[in-house]
């Protein structure tokens, strides 16, 4: 029997990068997976791929910054598969680079709406569904090495990701006694479309400087973060909650 057989997982930001890799891995391990994002064509293609390899998946258009959309996403998971065991809050944005003195107010608001408000809304409704079912569960928020490192030119992104740390630890304290574990994964630079966009904005030379500061001297792959997320949802992590797993190749140790 597969490790996650009979379980239901919800993954936001599932249309590319870490979210896409995580959805594939959960399906491979036997979970029924709900894929949520704004790019429905990408979601539908991933559902087809998962089903063709023997997995089970369903897709729903979701704007994580909109409360009604998030509530509908969680209801879709429960209505479609009967329960919710794992939730991965991965949707995010923040590829633009601005000096803090030049950052447009509306860009700040947009990043906060998706990365922090969106994470809060997802966690709120996911936890409600898990509590209503009474089976416990595991929620993994996807932060960034910027959660605890200042990143010049990325003030909005850094502030939003730092906020996820407080959200995770506080929610863990509230929910642990009711069988729900909440943890945070903080990737370094991972080879995803998001980070390719950051590279375009920073410039190749600056981006390569980041690579050279990593202990492993390379960027990560989405599948490597997916395995961290799956571990935190698994029974092997049953005593881990309110914690941060930093998967950055040693980058934060070399600043």
Sheet holding 180-187, edge to edge: 56-61, 32-37, 8-12, 86-89, 137-142, 180-187, 244-247
Instruction: Give the C-alpha separation, 139 to 168, whole Å.
Output: 9
Sole residue written with tokens 């997982």: 9
DSSP state of 68: H
Diameter of the chain measured on Cα atoms: 55
* Eight-class DSSP state of 220: B
Catalogue the E-assigned strands of the chain. Answer: 8-12, 32-37, 56-61, 86-89, 137-142, 180-187, 244-247
Quick one: CA dihedral 214, 217, 221, 224, positive or negative? negative
**Active site residue: 4, 81, 86, 157, which one?**
157
Taking the C-alpha atoms of residue 169 and residue 166, their distance in angstroms, rounded to an integer, is 5
Active-site residue flag, 157: yes
Nearest to 193 by CA among 70, 39, 29: 39
**Joined tokens for residue 227:** 């395995």
Catalytic positions, please?
Answer: 157
């Amino acid at each position: 029997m597969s490790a996650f057989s009979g379980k239901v997982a919800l993954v936001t930001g599932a249309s590319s990068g870490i979210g896409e890799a995580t959805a594939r891995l959960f399906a491979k391990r036997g979970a029924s997976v709900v894929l949520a994002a704004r790019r429905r064509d990408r979601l539908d293609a991933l559902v087809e791929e998962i089903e063709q390899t023997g997995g089970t998946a369903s897709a729903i258009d979701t704007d994580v910054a909109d409360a009604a959309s998030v509530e509908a996403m969680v209801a879709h998971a429960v209505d479609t598969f009967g329960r919710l065991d794992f939730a991965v809050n991965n949707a995010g944005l923040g590829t633009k680079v601005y000096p803090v003195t030049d950052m447009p107010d509306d860009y700040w608001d947009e990043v906060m709406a998706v990365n922090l408000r969106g994470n809060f809304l997802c966690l709120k409704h996911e936890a409600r569904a898990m509590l209503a079912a009474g089976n416990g569960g595991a929620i993994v928020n996807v932060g960034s090495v910027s959660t605890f490192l200042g990143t010049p030119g990325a003030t909005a992104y850094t502030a939003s990701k730092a906020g996820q740390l407080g959200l995770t630890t506080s929610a863990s304290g509230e929910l642990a006694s009711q069988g729900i574990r909440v943890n945070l994964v903080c990737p370094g630079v991972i080879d995803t479309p998001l980070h390719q966009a950051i590279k375009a904005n920073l410039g190749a030379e600056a981006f390569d400087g980041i690579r050279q500061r990593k202990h492993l001297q390379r960027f990560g792959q989405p599948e490597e973060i997916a395995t961290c997320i799956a571990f935190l949802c698994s029974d092997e992590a049953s005593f881990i909650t309110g914690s941060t797993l930093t998967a950055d190749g040693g980058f934060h140790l070399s600043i």
